[in-house]
Chains A and B, each alone.
Chain A
């Protein structure tokens, strides 16, 4: 066998207490289009960051053409012939495209040639990056990467924002590229693309590489089951969700909500005591949806109805007033990192001027204590919440809303990056909140959580709800729906 173009051994990386990568071996042969797959949080993006010199691995080695390399800066990776195209184009928005190319020492004529290859020579490179639409920016970023004449292209979700005809040009290019005996590491959520265009795939799960196979042989079914791992094989935990008994009053209703480019038309209802799970691949508009529901952003059209009243929210306070609260995706968005657990939990109490007076210490302590014990938060490092573990931080972001008047809780991927034990505590908490009569909308990137926690699942694809499924629909049905494939039956 020829020397692999790229070979990693035992890549590992932790972020504080959270382990993102345990051990990843990855081998890309010359002339191979290799897909890197995995569910959200499996470690794909960390691998990409390590291979591009953005992050350093805690352990493990990387070899290019059999020669071990150290990549401590993006420039190192580029010098080794590893050329990345990131999800967010690495271009300074205030410079023109040409300036961005010159900035990184890329031959502009070469870029023109590559663009002509992709039939894109009409693009005006003197345009400011800010004014170029995202799909074309990706193509330009790709052209820049190619102009460096690299050995390996890393394409991180390049097709996610591309219309199909541009995607086709990328694939065409990949085919020609491979004929020159060079390789591509291809990261995509679109399994059809992987099956059709990749020679080999490696699937990551929980920070390890679990399997490598030829995707066209196994097909999407094998990919999906490998991504899900044992969970799909039948080791099921007790499902907490139940079908709705009788009719409960609807608390939160979205009517044809649309916002920005990605959220096109979303309607759903959540009733008191119900947990609605929202499932979507990355970038289907879920971020915008939660922004709109939590009052952080205006909707462009459509209505947000809370307990029968249409609410026009200019500020999160306008929905919080009605008992609609958000636990956002990024804990760091919701926490006061330098302040104590107590202050974090009490913070929302002071969101109106009338409460700006002296604090009743005893009353506050009691409330904080109640929340801390209900969620069993470990407050040993509680003087600054940034020192808490991810799971405890997440509990704090939930705990601060456990006050009377909670009607709707919006949770965005509440268990991302936290450990299994804490996850189950969070599930139990969500269920008990629902039992107390709260309506809960939970976006999750872990499909099994639908069965574990939810009463109902809605699937968001391309900015609109494409399916509503019962919680026991099964992960493959959910995943198929999330990929925009027809649901069975």
Chain B
């Protein structure tokens, strides 16, 4: 006797057609491509506004967007792993202040050493946040919100008022001279190409995506979910720390105001959302958020160039975030339904 269900499907099952190249591209790269196009358009727009678009203008864009770009990478990593980190901005302010304090009056070599040390501290602090989240079971929003208070406070302990400094050579090495856009460009692109791309191919990188995509399935597949989540926060700390160092190099000092951190966190979330990382986790990459960070930094400049009040940039940022999440949500619901 045959299996009872046999009568229902008589047809031999054929191997499914692979999805077409176009569909695959749309599913995986459409958003990043869209952001890239948007970035190019905005850059072109900005170019058309300035009579002489030279090295100085390019450097203003690349170095100006750099710290937000790194902060967006930090946020993106955590969001991809299925969490959220509302303390990245405070971490930026803290590492900015700490490095500015220690680097003041030092030479290039020492500054590099200090940068490494400060980033290591940031990694340690973020790892601790990750551990608290996984061990305590307190929602990540609350833990990172509380951490943002505490870290802002630490920044104030480090530096009571704006001050500190860094070696000029170090500043040039990281953010470039006024007409030198290469360092900022290379650091950003280099981090994406030499750190992120290899990382996302490692088992840890894959595990971060897997845990964000479906925690239960990842657990069943044998992934150590808690460790992966903690490591995502650690990596977030790495990039947030770098963002702080970059801020020191770009501005040549430390600025402990907590509102800067809150604003930076907001911007990082905006860049992540605009950069195609789903808040539900598991989707997106770091290139999108980096390009989105460039877009977000360009908006005020362009508005100023158009003669609009640049304060509207805030409004546009808000509208863009909401619209992007809304549209993204609708697209995703549709895709899941089919």
Contacts and interface: CB of A to CB of B under 8 A. Distances in A.
A136 B16 contact: yes
A93 B214 contact: yes
Contacts of A88: 217
B209 A95 contact: yes
Contact of B5 (A75, A93, A462): A462
A90 interface: yes
B303 to A, nearest CB: 36
Interface string B4-44: 11101101110110110000100110000000000000000
Contact of B219 (A74, A84, A124, A127): A74
B213 interface: yes
Interface string B191-234: 00000000001010011011111100111111110000000000
A78 interface: yes
Given A103-B221, A163-B9, A133 B214 contact: no
B28 A128 contact: yes
A338 B47 CA distance: 58
Contacts of B212: 94
Nearest to B27: A128
Given A132-B16, A190-B5, A484-B4, A104 B223 contact: yes
A216 interface: no
Nearest to B19: A131
Given A105-B203, A127-B18, A94 B283 contact: yes
Given A95-B213, A128-B28, A190-B3, A103 B12 contact: no
A167 B213 CA distance: 29
Interface string B240-271: 00000000000000000000000000000000
A84 B224 CA distance: 17
Contact of B9 (A103, A132, A164): A164
> On chain B, which size bracket covers the interface?
35 or more
Contacts of A124: 18
Q: Which residue, A54, A99, A167, has most C-beta atoms of chain B within 10 A?
A: A99
A165 interface: yes
B288 interface: no
A92 B223 CA distance: 11
Contacts of A357: none
A171 B11 CA distance: 18
A89 B15 contact: no
A120 interface: yes
B332 to A, nearest CB: 11
A127 B21 CA distance: 11
A317 interface: no
A485 B220 contact: no
A91 interface: yes
B217 A89 contact: yes
Contacts of B13: 135, 163, 165-166
B213 A103 contact: no
Contact of A92 (B11, B16, B18, B210): B210
Interface string A160-192: 000111110000000000000000000000101
B3 A192 contact: yes
A338 to B, nearest CB: 15
A102 interface: yes
A484 B13 CA distance: 21
Interface in B120-139: none
A19 to B, nearest CB: 24
B282 interface: yes
Given A132-B16, A163-B13, A164-B6, A95 B217 contact: no
A120 B12 CA distance: 13
B3 to A, nearest CB: 5
B1 interface: yes
A193 B3 contact: yes
A464 B117 CA distance: 67
Contact of B220 (A54, A164, A190): A54
A225 B204 CA distance: 50
Contacts of A190: 3-5
A73 interface: yes
Nearest to A169: B13
A123 interface: yes
A84 B221 CA distance: 9
B9 A102 contact: no
B200 to A, nearest CB: 9
B328 to A, nearest CB: 14
A86 interface: yes
B2 interface: yes
Nearest to A91: B217
A415 interface: no
A483 interface: yes
Given A135-B13, A462-B5, A78 B213 contact: no
A75 B222 CA distance: 4
A166 B211 CA distance: 30
B15 to A, nearest CB: 4
Closest 4 CB pairs of A and B: A484-B4, A90-B220, A92-B210, A124-B18
Given A74-B221, A136-B16, 4 more contacts: A92-B209, A95-B209, A163-B9, A193-B3
6 contacts: A89-B217, A92-B209, A95-B206, A95-B213, A103-B207, A136-B15
